[in-house]
Amino acid sequence: MKLTKLEHAALIIELAGKKLYIDPGSFTTALARTADTVAVVITHEHADHWTPEQLGRIIEMNSDLRIFAPAGVTRAIAAFDAELDVTTVQAGDVIEVAPFTLRFFGATHAVIHESIPVIDNVGVLVNDELYYAGDAFTIPEGVEVGTLAVPAAAPWMKISEAMDYIFAIKPKRSFPTHEMLLSRAGKDLSNARFQNVTQLSGGEFFPLEPGDSLDL
């Protein structure tokens, strides 16, 4: 299974000639070469995790595409295109979209501020290997995480929380995501912190940049 990190929160997972996209949003370069995509997972409704334009670029090349998202995203997509079929998912759901098995965790976005409503958010575990929690630090109870996507910067988090998250999950591998709010100096700082705690937990850290890939 091949993981490719795009800008910010977007990921591509490839296996057996098929692709799965996760969170193609507004901070990600316009998607290209999206043929052979079988599914898209959108963790929550914020524009940095999905836009109609990015989703449309995938749909255009894949007529049988399946879309998985929490209820808030389903409503947002319906407002954009009422005829688009979206499968609403929640914690505990397990869905097979060959060659991918998707397990979902969590229910809500991390709190940004008491003045901002808390929205739906799900994390996804792909093929019992790659885990990405969206905008939350949801721990997938009862499973071992081989590879963990760790958010590096956001209005809803601080670096110590991300470090504690790595300590709690103890992945074999970790890499940074959700980092487009950081300067180069900020990325280097968060990467150093993530590398340290991942190694202390017995794992290996990969400082992936947009376009970099990792074989899982």
- List, for residues 69-81, the tens digit of each pLDDT value: 999 999 999 998 8
The predicted structure's pLDDT at residue 80? 86
Span 135-164, average pLDDT:
97
Alpha helices in 2-103 (DSSP H): 52-59, 71-80
Q: What is the CATH number of the domain that holds 158?
A: 3.60.15.10
117 exposed, middle or buried (CB, 10 Å; 0-12, 13-18, 19+)? exposed
Number of domains in the chain: 1
Q: Round the average pLDDT of the chain to a whole number and report it.
A: 97
198 exposed, middle or buried (CB, 10 Å; 0-12, 13-18, 19+)? buried
Residue 97's domain spans which residues? 2-215
Residue 205 pairs with which residues in a beta bridge? 174
What is d(CA 172, CA 91) in angstroms, rounded to the nearest whole number?
23
What is d(CA 94, CA 157) in angstroms, rounded to the nearest whole number?
28
Name the token pair of 65.
């595409």
What is d(CA 56, CA 133) in angstroms, rounded to the nearest whole number?
24
The predicted structure's pLDDT at residue 115? 98
Span 131-144, average pLDDT:
96
What residue type is assigned to position 55 of the chain?
Answer: L
CA 141 to chain centre: 18
Q: Which H/E stretch holds residue 50?
A: none
Strand 66-69, strand 37-41: pairing:
parallel
Query: Is residue 82 pLDDT above 90, yes or no?
Result: no
Query: Is-contact 24 210, C-beta < 8 A?
Result: no
The predicted structure's pLDDT at residue 27? 98
